[in-house]
Amino acid sequence: MKPTQEQKAFVEDLLSRMTLEEKIGQMNQESPSIVGGFDVPFHELIEMLTDGRISQEEFGKIMANAKQDYHEDDIRAGLVGSMMVKEPRENNRLQKIAVEESRLGIPLIIGFDVIHGFRSVFPIAIAEACSFDDDLFEVTAHMAARESRAHGINWNFAPMIDAARDSRWGRVSEGPGEDPLLGSRFARAKIRGLQNDHSSLLNYVAACTKHYVAYGACESGRDYNTTSMSVSNLYNVYLPAFRAAMDEGAATVMAAFNDLNGVPCTVNKWLLRDVLKGEFGLDGFVVSDANAIRECVIHGIAEDDRDAGVEAALAGMDMDMGTHIYKDYLKAEVEKGTVPPEVIDEAVRRILFVKVWLGLFDNPYVPEELIEAYEKGLPKEHVALCRRAAEESMVLLKNESVILPLDRKQKISLVGTLADDRNEVCGAWAMAWKPEDCVSIRAGLEAAGANVSYYPCGGPEGELNEEEIASACAEGDVIVAVVGETDAMSGEASSKADISLPGKQRVLLEKLLASGKPVVTVLMNGRPLALGWEAEHLPAILEAWHLGIRMGDAVAAALLGDVNPSGKLSSSFPAVTGQCPVYYNHPSTGRPGSKSKFTSRYLDAPWEALYPFGYGLSYTGFAYDDLQIHKIGKCLEITVRVRNTGERTGTEIAQLYTQDVSASLVRPVKELKDYRRIELKPGEEKKVIFVLPLDSLGFYDNEGKYRLEDGLFRFFVGGSSRDCMMKELRIKF
C-alpha cells in the first residue's frame, strides 16, 4: 500500500487548501451518540445492564428505539474524518453530507468491528486459526471485506492479532492464539483478503490491525491491565504479527488500551513513531482505541484531557476514537506552539492517503441494488464458505474406544441449552448476524438426518432439570452433551479467574456419565477451558468453539462422520486454571518440570498443558517417519514421510518446530517454523517438504536487534507441538 506520485500530489494539494480546523477534523472519529428515546439517562442504562437490572435482550430492544445523533452538523463543517456506522443507507446519507455539503467534499472513512465476518459470520479467530489454513484465512477475510463494503463500511477493525497465552483473558477468542508464526501467517492472509482485490471499489477495505501491542500479555489475564516485558520478548512474541501485517501492506493500526513497561500504547512514541512508522514502515495511520486518549488521564500519565491529547498527537497517534479531545483542544495547542503544525499535517496526510487508496474520492457510495440484494438474504457461496470454515476449525480432543463418528441409526439424546440456541453460535464481536441465517447444533443434526431427541437439561447459567436429565439418560443409545460458554462469556471485558466449565455443567456431565451410556461432549466456547476433569472422565470431546452461522451443520457433519475433524489447537489448554499462562513455546528453564521435587512444577497440578498447541485428533491416524535435513544454499530442506494409517481419508497438519540449543539469550523449548495441510487417503503416504531459510533461525535481543548465532539446533516434525520426531544439526550462518 505505497502511495503513488499521483496520490501524493492529490493529497498535498488537498492539504494545502485545508484550514487547521478541517485538518484536525480528519483526525476525529465519531460514532452515533445516543441522545434519548428512553426514560433514564444513557449512563444509567449501561449501569442497569451491568448490574443485571435489565437483560442484554431488553437493552437491545431499548437501543433499537433509541434516538441517535449522527453528528451531521460537524460532518458538514468538516470536523469529522471518520464514522462508525453499519447501516448502508445511513452510511450513504452521511457520505453525501460529507461529499456534497462540506467545504472540501472529503469523504468519510467508515469503520466497524467486522472481526470474524459481517452477516456471514465465520468461526471466532482462535477457532479459525485451528485450521492452519492460510487460504481459508484469506478467503473469509475477502468475503468479510465485500460484505462490509456492501454496507458502506470501508474500514474493518480487523484482524485482531494479539498473541495471547493466558486464557483467563476473554479476548483470546478474537485472535489467532499463542504462536507468533501462526499469528503472522494469519495476519498476512487476513490483510491480503481484506485489502488486495482491487477489481472493483466494492471488493476491498482498509484493514486495521490491532491491538498494538502486547495487550494479550495483560497481567493475570485481566482485561485492560498493565503489561511489562523485556524488549526481546516483545520483539520475538508480540511484535512479529504486526511486522508481518505491515510487510503485507496493512493500511492502519489500532493502539492497545494497556501500558507497556509504564507507557500507555496510546501515547507511546517509541512504539508508534520509532517501531511502527519507522522500523515497520506503516504508510497509513494509527487510530486510538475507544476513549483511550482520555484514559491516559486515569492511567496517571496526563493531567487532563488537553494534556492527554497533546501527548497522543506528539507520540504519533493520528486519529482519536470517540473522545473529541483532538477536536476540542488541538487547534489551541498548535496555535500555542505545543504541537507543531507538521505533526497535524503528517497525521492528515496519512488519513487522506488511505481515503484516496480506498477510492472514496471516486465513489463513496453503496449502490442501492447491492443493498437490496443483501436484504434478500445471503448468497449461497457465502453460506458455503461459512460451513467450510466451521468444518475446518473443529478440534477432536479425545475419542476413546472410537465412539465417534456416530451411526445415523443410533438414537441420540442431545443435551444442553447451548445445543438448541442459534443465537449463541456466532460468539463474541459478531455484530451483524441474522437469526434466520444461524444453525443450532440441534437443527444441524436434524437436517443431517440424525435420529435425535432433545433434552435441554441445563447450560452455562442456571439450574439443572433433573427430569430432563433422567429422560435423556433413559432414552438415547448415546448422549451428546453440548456444554461450554455463552458468547458473552468471552471477548472484551470478559476475563475470568476460573476457566473451568461454568455453572453446573460439570455436574450435568457427571449425572449423564452415571447413566452408563456413552457420552460425547461437544464444547462450544470462546477460550481454552481448564478440562482436567473432563479429559479424565469423558470418552469423547469435540472442541467446536463458536463456529459462526453454520455451526450446527458443521458439528453434525463431524459427529456423523461426514467430515473428518482436522483442526489443531491454536492455543494450549490447561488442566486447571492455575496453570495459566500456559503455552508450548516457553523459554527453557534451568530446572524443567519433572517428577522430582526441585523442578519447575506444581505440587497439585501438572506442569504441562493438558492439550498442547498443535494438538488434534482425526478419525484416522497418521504416522511420521524418515525425517531428513539437507542444507541447500541459504536454506534447509526438511523432509518427512507422513502416512495415513487408518481407514478413512483425513487431513493432517504437519508441523515443523526448531530449538536453538545454546544461544546468548534463553530461547523457547520449541518454536513453530512452518506447517502444511495434507490430505491422505487410507494407506496413502506423502513426502512433506519444508524449505526453511537459514535466516529464520535467529531471534531478537534486548536491543531489538535480530541475531543469527552459530551453534546446535534441533528440528522437530510431527502432528503436535508435543508429539514430534527430532534431528539435530550444527549450523554456521
Between 254 and 480, whose beta carbon lies closer to ligand NOJ? 254
Site for ligand NOJ in 136-195 (CB under 6 A): 157
Between 148 and 620, whose beta carbon lies closer to ligand NOJ? 148
Three-state helix/strand/coil letters over 394-461: CEEEEEHHHCCCCCCCCEEEEECHHHHCHHHCCCCCCCCCCHHHCCCHHHHHHHCCCEEEEECCCCCC
- The nearest distance, CB 492 to ligand NOJ, in angstroms, is 5
Between 210 and 382, whose beta carbon lies closer to ligand NOJ? 210
Q: How far apart are alpha carbons 332 and 54 in whole angstroms?
A: 43
Between 477 and 492, whose beta carbon lies closer to ligand NOJ? 492
Between 289 and 553, whose beta carbon lies closer to ligand NOJ? 289
Spell out, one character per residue from 199 to 228, where the chain touches ligand NOJ: x when CB under 6 A holds, - when not: -----------x------------------
Q: How far apart are alpha carbons 554 and 63 in whole angstroms?
A: 33
Single-letter amino acid code for the residue at 271: L
Say whether residue 290 binds ligand NOJ (CB under 6 A): yes
Size of the site for ligand NOJ (CB under 6 A): 6
Between 158 and 654, whose beta carbon lies closer to ligand NOJ? 158
Site for ligand NOJ in 502-561 (CB under 6 A): none
- List, in sequence order, every residue forming a beta bridge with 587; answer none if it has no partner: 668
- The nearest distance, CB 255 to ligand NOJ, in angstroms, is 10
Residue 154 CA, distance from chain mean position: 19
Site for ligand NOJ in 298-317 (CB under 6 A): none
Site for ligand NOJ in 2-31 (CB under 6 A): none
Q: Which residue is nearest to ligand NOJ (CB)?
A: 157
Residue 199, Cβ density class (10 Å: 0-12 exposed, 13-18 middle, ≥19 buried): exposed
Say whether residue 289 binds ligand NOJ (CB under 6 A): yes
- The nearest distance, CB 254 to ligand NOJ, in angstroms, is 6
Single-letter amino acid code for the residue at 343: V
DSSP 587: B
Residue 434, Cβ density class (10 Å: 0-12 exposed, 13-18 middle, ≥19 buried): exposed
Residue 121, Cβ density class (10 Å: 0-12 exposed, 13-18 middle, ≥19 buried): buried
Q: Which of 274, 492, 562, 685 binds ligand NOJ (CB under 6 A)?
A: 492
Catalytic residue among 113, 289, 307, 701: 289
Site for ligand NOJ in 104-143 (CB under 6 A): 113
- The nearest distance, CB 115 to ligand NOJ, in angstroms, is 8
- The nearest distance, CB 216 to ligand NOJ, in angstroms, is 12
- The nearest distance, CB 24 to ligand NOJ, in angstroms, is 21
Between 429 and 454, whose beta carbon lies closer to ligand NOJ? 429
Identify whether the C-beta of residue 189 lies closer than 8 Å to the C-beta of residue 247.
Answer: no
- The nearest distance, CB 395 to ligand NOJ, in angstroms, is 25
Q: How far apart are alpha carbons 548 and 424 in whole angstroms?
A: 9
Between 428 and 478, whose beta carbon lies closer to ligand NOJ? 428
- The nearest distance, CB 168 to ligand NOJ, in angstroms, is 17
Q: How far apart are alpha carbons 485 and 415 in whole angstroms?
A: 15
Q: What are phi and psi of 198, to 5 degrees?
A: -100, 25
Between 257 and 700, whose beta carbon lies closer to ligand NOJ? 257
What does each C-alpha distance from 173 to 42, 128, 160, 237 come to in angstroms? 29, 10, 10, 18
- List, in sequence order, every residue forming a beta bridge with 414; answer none if it has no partner: 454, 480
Spell out, one character per residue from 360 to 399, where the chain touches ligand NOJ: x when CB under 6 A holds, - when not: ----------------------------------------
Closest by CA to 163, choosing from 175, 150, 151, 149, is: 175
Q: What residues contact 152, with CB distance under 8 A and at least 6 apart?
A: 85, 86, 87, 88, 90, 91, 92, 95, 110, 365, 366
Say whether residue 259 binds ligand NOJ (CB under 6 A): no
Q: How far apart are alpha carbons 460 and 506 in whole angstroms?
A: 10
Identify whether the C-beta of residue 479 lies closer than 8 Å to the C-beta of residue 473.
Answer: yes
- The nearest distance, CB 317 to ligand NOJ, in angstroms, is 15
Catalytic residue check, 289: yes
Beta strands in 238-380, from DSSP E residues, in sequence order: 252-255, 259-260, 263-264, 285-287, 320-321
Residues labelled catalytic: 289
Q: Which residues bind ligand NOJ (CB under 6 A)?
A: 113, 157, 210, 289-290, 492
